[in-house]
A and B are shown apart, each in its own frame.
Chain A
Amino acid sequence: MSDSSNLQVSALYKNHHSWLSSWLLKKLGCPHNAADIAQDTFVRLILKSDALTNVYTPKVYLVRIAKGLMIDQWRRQALEQCYLEALSQHDEPFYMSQELQAIVVETLFEIDAMLNRLNPKAKQAFLLAQIHGFGYKEIADTIGVSERMVKKYMAAAMMHCLLLRKKLNEDTV
């Protein structure tokens, strides 16, 4: 990172950290969580320092990052909760360590983010194949479409993931 963008970040921090924190506090109602997200917002900003040159409206930009982080946090928690609930409904108990659970939640989060905007039926087809190892005939019977459609859903779901991955790679380069 260049010196000039360093300067830009510290100027942004000085001017905007306090209102961002209070805005987050109002949204989240928890001072610790608000402080964490505010901090993460600036970390994200530093990582994206090349984008800084284009920040004409820092408030909008910071709020956008902070919102993204809050959404991610909410989704991680929601996934974890769903996962644990599903586990508790199992006939056989399924034990896992805290570390393993963290890995599972993170992996679920990554996959969920990938499949997020996918058509629901395509998502179901993809999950049944990728998680349960179902054949197309079984998937077709389960979700009520033709086998030919299942194959199209599979291609579409994979392409969807591939493009998100591609975009992610390009963004972080």
Chain B
Amino acid sequence: MSQALDQTALQQAAEWFAVLSDKQIDESDRLAWQAWLAASPRHHSAWKEVEAINASFNKLNTVSSKTASHQALSHPNSRRQALKVLGFAGVALFGGVMLKRYSPWQDWLTTLTASAKTYSPPPGKTATVVLADASRLWLNANSQAKVEYGLMLRRITVLAGEVLLQSGHDDQDRALVVDTRHGRMTALGTRFTVRQETGRTLLAVYDGRVAITTPQGESIIVPAGNQAYFDTQKISPLEPALSAREAWTRGILIADNQHLDDFIAELSNYYPRRISVSPSVAHFRLMGAYPFSNVPLVLQEIANSLPIRVQNDAQGNFELKPLN
């Protein structure tokens, strides 16, 4: 029996159940359901499971008062309640939650039940979003993130760029996860940044801990003060997190002995026009903290500290050139 019980068939069965449980059902729905049922023995096995669950309720309804069953079942007799009453701390539960592998059905449920909202700041700006659980999400310039709070998960998908997340407390105890195309990060009460690059993702943790899980099933817990790069295949060793990485949430870009061209590449994110760097000055190194709300001023400051000059055209494009 169980070999025929595949996830997809169960999901379809659950969706059909939802179609058919309303009081009025369209005849066309009923026919479509019958066609689905007849299409595969897997569908049949899955539907038998739905019937088994309905059978428990039918049994209850025949022997018991509806109002009393409903009242008893609505009462918070939960496992968590029991743990509290019996004087066990939440540890046993937590252990199970902590390093959960990918469980596709949680994601399915999330997609099904959450109303997705995609955020991206206006060009050249950063943005702060306060989410339903009071989590704060900062989006760096040119970034985009999708937020879905569903039944089982609070899921944030980084579609582009970089975000910083400070997690809030969820009264439904749903896990908070951040996905990039390289894997999943599970927040364990924290503040951290996630930057999706072309071939890899950078996670830097400032507070609490975050678990990374890759699609290959590799996982690691990154404690506060550490950062790690990962891609779909592997997770790099931990290294100290640069606290400078979160400075952008305060409107500051930090150059930490960086090559000029790398720094300008980052600065360009906050400027709607082009900033180019002559190859002959690209290798100069830069240190300092620059408020990126005023890019022309930042460029002027750089010109004061390095042997370069800044040239701009009528459209507002800049070029950094050697002094002569």
A residues sitting closer than 8 Å to B (CB atoms) are: 27, 64, 67, 70-71, 74-75, 78-79, 82-83, 85-87, 90, 94, 96, 100, 103-104, 107-108, 110-112, 114-120, 122-124, 127-137, 149, 151-156, 158-163, 165-166, 169-170, 173
Assess the A155–B14 pair: CB atoms within 8 A: yes
B69's closest neighbor in chain A, by CB? A131
Assess the A162–B86 pair: CB atoms within 8 A: no
Q: How far is the CB of B321 from chain A (nearest CB, A)?
A: 59
**Residues in chain B near residue A114, CB distance under 8 A:** 53, 56
User: Which positions 1-51 of chain B face chain A at CB distance < 8 Å?
Assistant: 1-2, 5, 10-11, 13-15, 17-19, 21-24, 46, 49-50
Assess the B72–A152 pair: CB atoms within 8 A: no
Q: How far is the CB of B318 from chain A (nearest CB, A)?
A: 51
Cross-chain contact of B68 among A87, A118, A152, A165 (Cβ < 8 A):
A87
**Residues in chain B near residue A158, CB distance under 8 A:** 13-14, 17-18, 50, 53
Interface: B83 (CB within 8 A):
yes
User: How far is it, in angstroms, between the C-alpha of A75 and the C-alpha of B85 when the chains are bound?
Assistant: 10
**Residues in chain A near residue B69, CB distance under 8 A:** 83, 104, 108, 131
**Residues in chain B near residue A96, CB distance under 8 A:** 63-64
User: How far is it, in angstroms, between the C-alpha of A166 and the C-alpha of B23 when the chains are bound?
Assistant: 28
Assess the A104–B108 pair: CB atoms within 8 A: no
Interface: B90 (CB within 8 A):
no
User: Which positions 73-98 of chain B face chain A at CB distance < 8 Å?
Assistant: 73-75, 77-79, 81-83, 85-88, 92
Q: How far is the CB of A128 from chain B (nearest CB, A)?
A: 8
User: How far is it, in angstroms, between the C-alpha of A136 and the C-alpha of B53 when the chains are bound?
Assistant: 19
Q: How far is the CB of B285 from chain A (nearest CB, A)?
A: 53
Q: How far is the CB of B166 from chain A (nearest CB, A)?
A: 24
User: Which positions 242-298 of chain B face chain A at CB distance < 8 Å?
Assistant: none
**Residues in chain B near residue A155, CB distance under 8 A:** 14-15, 17-18, 112
**Residues in chain B near residue A166, CB distance under 8 A:** 2, 5, 10, 49
Assess the B68–A86 pair: CB atoms within 8 A: yes
User: How far is it, in angstroms, between the C-alpha of A118 and the C-alpha of B67 when the chains are bound?
Assistant: 20
Cross-chain contact of B71 among A67, A74, A82 (Cβ < 8 A):
A82
Assess the A79–B74 pair: CB atoms within 8 A: no
Assess the A162–B10 pair: CB atoms within 8 A: yes
Assess the B17–A86 pair: CB atoms within 8 A: no
Interface: B109 (CB within 8 A):
yes
Q: How far is the CB of A129 from chain B (nearest CB, A)?
A: 5
Most buried by A among B17, B52, B81: B17
Interface: B151 (CB within 8 A):
yes
The 9 closest A-B pairs by CB, nearest first: A135-B23, A155-B18, A86-B68, A86-B71, A159-B14, A154-B18, A83-B72, A82-B72, A158-B14
Interface: B61 (CB within 8 A):
yes
Q: How far is the CB of B59 from chain A (nearest CB, A)?
A: 6
Assess the B68–A94 pair: CB atoms within 8 A: yes
User: Which positions 91-121 of chain B face chain A at CB distance < 8 Å?
Assistant: 92, 105, 108-109, 112-113
User: How far is it, in angstroms, between the C-alpha of A166 and the C-alpha of B15 when the chains are bound?
Assistant: 17
Assess the B86–A82 pair: CB atoms within 8 A: no
Assess the A118–B151 pair: CB atoms within 8 A: yes
Assess the A153–B113 pair: CB atoms within 8 A: yes
Assess the B63–A74 pair: CB atoms within 8 A: no
User: How far is it, in angstroms, between the C-alpha of A114 and the C-alpha of B11 when the chains are bound?
Assistant: 17
User: How far is it, in angstroms, between the C-alpha of A118 and the C-alpha of B172 when the chains are bound?
Assistant: 10
Q: How far is the CB of B47 from chain A (nearest CB, A)?
A: 10
- Given the interface pairs A86-B72, A162-B14, the reply to whether A131 lies near B66 with Cβ below 8 Å is yes
Q: List 14 A-B contacts (CB under 8 A).
A: A64-B92, A70-B86, A86-B67, A96-B64, A117-B78, A118-B151, A119-B113, A131-B70, A152-B112, A156-B14, A159-B109, A162-B10, A162-B50, A163-B10
**Residues in chain B near residue A110, CB distance under 8 A:** 56
Interface: B54 (CB within 8 A):
yes
Assess the A119–B14 pair: CB atoms within 8 A: no
